[in-house]
Amino acid sequence: MIEPSADDVDAIRELINIGVGRAAGMLNDITGCTIHLKVPSIQIVDIARFTDGTQNDGNTPLSTVSLSFRGPMSGLAALVFPPESAAQLVILMTRESEESREMDAMRIETLKEVGNIIINAVMGSIANVLKQHLNYSLPDYQELGIRSLAKSLHTRVDDRLVIANAHFQIEKTLIEGNILLILELGSMDTLISSIHGVNT
């Protein structure tokens, strides 16, 4: 198993940033809002050792739009928010006058599109580097903890988790979420090798 170096981590962050940059442009066009989207930092951890001391312990339910992929690289990509932040994001993007912070069916459907745009853009960046085709599941919305999300993939203890902190700046409001990449055994190696291949 290749342990990603600092340069590898930077390269993965850059790949994700290219994706979210494209996604922000699409979201601006669709919503008519001025949306800035960036990923200031990422961390890569073993799924078994995952603890995110800043937000939750991996069991707190989060609003999650996810997509699994299979092929030379297998795993799951997801956009996750605390439910209240997810509702706020939708309210800001849709300019709703509603003040309730509950995620109802219509807001879930809207968040699914937002998550779909971001995840597709990120996976598009990664697929460009891989130069190989991946098979994707349909996007899904769930409210569950990151551990449960990982469990649903039947992950193994040494699977890797890429946590990219995502900042959504909509008008004057900043909303924080995470873009997650759960990479099954060997997938991180494939990704790093592909990155090295691009760089040589």
Partner 1 sequence: MSDRMIYGHDGDPYDMLPVGIIVIREDYTVLVWNDCIAHWTGIPRKTMVGTNLRERFPHLDKPLYLTRIEQVFSGGPAVIFSSRFHPHFVPATLQNGELRVQSTTVVPVVSGDRFLAMIVIEDITDLSRQVRAFREMRNVAERELEERRKAEEKAQRLAAIVESTDDGIIGMNPDGTITSLNSGAERLYGYPAEEVIGQPLSILVPEQQSDDLPYILSRVRKGESISHYQTQRKTKEGKIFDISLTVSPIRNAEDRITGASSIARDITETRHMEEALRQANKKLSLLNSITRHDILNQLTGLRSYIELMKECTTEPKFTEYIRKGEQAADNIREQLEFMRSYQDIGVKSPAWQNLPDTVRTAVRPLDLRAVTIVIELPQIEVFADPLLMRVFYNLAENAIRHGETVRTIRFRFAYGQDRGILVCEDDGVGVPEGVKEQIFKREYFKHTGFGLYLSREILSITGISIRETGEPGTGARFEIVIPPVAYRPVC
CA distance 139 to 119: 9
Does 94 sit near partner 1 (CB under 8 A)? yes
Complex with partner 1: residue 90 or 170, whichever CB lies closer: 90
Residues in the interface with partner 1 (CB under 8 A) total: 29
Complex with partner 1: residue 105 or 157, whichever CB lies closer: 105
Report residue 22: phi and psi, to 5°.
-65, -40
Does 154 sit near partner 1 (CB under 8 A)? no
For the record, the structure tokens of 143 come out as: 């409210």
Interface characters, 45-84, with partner 1 (x: CB under 8 A): ----------------------x-x---------------
CA distance 76 to 69: 6
Does 7 sit near partner 1 (CB under 8 A)? no
Does 136 sit near partner 1 (CB under 8 A)? yes
CA distance 154 to 84: 28
Pick the piece of the chain touching partner 1 (CB under 8 A) from 29-37, 52-60, 79-87, 142-150: 29-37
* Residue (of 161, 148, 175, 185) closest to 35 by Cα position: 175
- Out of 6, 105, 157, 174, the only residue in the binding site for partner 1 (CB under 8 A) is 105
CA distance 61 to 82: 7
Give the residue ranges of DSSP H helices in the chain. 6-31, 83-94, 105-130, 146-152, 187-199
For binding to partner 1 (CB under 8 A), which residues are involved? 26, 29-31, 67, 69, 90, 94, 98, 100, 102, 104-106, 109-110, 112-113, 116-117, 119-120, 123-124, 127, 133, 136, 138-139
